[in-house]
Amino acid sequence: MLIPKLDLTGLKCPMPALQTRKALKSLTPGDRLEVHCTDPLSVIDIPNLVRETGDSVEITERAERRIVFVIKKGGGPVPLEDRFSLRSWCPYIK
């Protein structure tokens, strides 16, 4: 299966995240999207976006100035209380 590629090289924050969000809306659960960025902030913005939308980053790759994400479309957005729950990042809270 051919994975669609989104070339966002040269775009600065917040455009890579906004364009990725727009592209993910057209996918169905289980589809993948390959995103190419050069903005260093995309290593923060894209994973945060993916967490909000309920999707997942399968591969992150850095080469020279290019950052590549392979994102798998999930089933839908994660509830707000789960996104920002202490349980999601603190191992001491059960």
Per-residue pLDDT for 77 more than 80?
A: no
Collapsing DSSP states into helix, strand and coil, what is residue 64? coil
Q: Is 90 contained in some domain? A: no
- The 10s digit of each residue's pLDDT in 4-14 is 999 999 999 99
Q: Is 55 contained in some domain? A: yes
Q: Annotated catalytic residue: which of 11, 13, 18, 57?
A: 13
Segment 67-82 shows an average pLDDT of 80
Segment 70-74 shows an average pLDDT of 94
90 belongs to the catalytic site: no
DSSP letters for 24-55: HHTS-TT-EEEEEE--TTHHHHHHHHHHHHT-
Q: Is 57 contained in some domain? A: yes
Q: How many domains does the chain divide into?
A: 1
The pLDDT value recorded for residue 81 is 59
Query: Facing residues of 60 across strands?
Result: 69
Q: Is 89 contained in some domain? A: no
